[in-house]
Amino acid sequence: MDADVAEMSEIDPAQALGRRLEACYRHIYATAMADVPICNPALGIASTGFRTYGGRAFGIVITPWFMNLVAADLPQGPSSAPAATGTTLRVGLPAGEVGFIAGELDAIDRVDSCSLFSPVFEFATMEAALETADEAARAFFDPATLEPPPAPPAAVNRRDLLGGHFRRREEASE
């Protein structure tokens, strides 16, 4: 146990929080989720991609029953604005706005979650789940993943439309 604490003090606070989340979900899996049919027996518990953004820790948590993007307050950081459990919160990330459901976990307190997969039967191996989670973690923090807004439709006036000019303009723009 002392080695775990020493190791956690040497890593980034967001990554340490990811490991604390893993421990919480391992306990939940061993107790409340034991033998629940929505669990994928090929998967374990893992966290990946944890980083600090906007004063909170963000990353992906994988369990045998879900894969979520989570946001949690850092232990020495400022507390988030209060939110009732179950409330949907909109959080701006580099790749765009994401909806999170406010929640709480024993030993962690506030943990907001955005479900990516639930249940997680599409993953045959933990390696496949981790690969997907790593890619998702990168995508949420990469502004290049934002799709550009569609171009506004061309203005149409009756004269061009009736005279056939609109069609020629459309064909020229393609």
Pairing mode, strands 104-105 and 109-117: antiparallel
The one-letter amino acid code at 81 reads A
- Which two three-digit tokens encode residue 62? 């994988």
Residue 173 scores a pLDDT above 80? no
Concatenated DSSP letters for 146-167? SPPPPPPPPP--HHHHHHTHHH
Distance of alpha carbon 115 from alpha carbon 95, whole angstroms: 16
Indicate the pLDDT class of residue 107, thresholds 50, 70 and 90. Answer: confident
The dihedral through the CA atoms of 12, 113, 32, 76 has a sign that is positive
Distance of alpha carbon 103 from alpha carbon 38, whole angstroms: 21
Residue 58, CA atoms < 13 Å, CB-side half-sphere: 20
Distance of alpha carbon 131 from alpha carbon 135, whole angstroms: 6
pLDDT tens digits for range 109-133: 899 999 999 999 999 999 999 999 9
Backbone angles phi, psi at 56, to 5 degrees: -125, 165
Distance of alpha carbon 49 from alpha carbon 135, whole angstroms: 9
Q: 107-117 burial, b for 16+ CB within 10 Å, e for fewer? A: ebebbbbbebb
Delineate the domains of the chain, giving CATH numbers in brackets.
Answer: 2-145 (3.30.1460.40)
pLDDT tens digits for range 52-101: 999 999 999 999 999 999 999 998 888 888 999 999 999 999 999 999 99
Concatenated DSSP letters for 69-93? EEEEE-TTSPPPPP--TT-EEEEEE
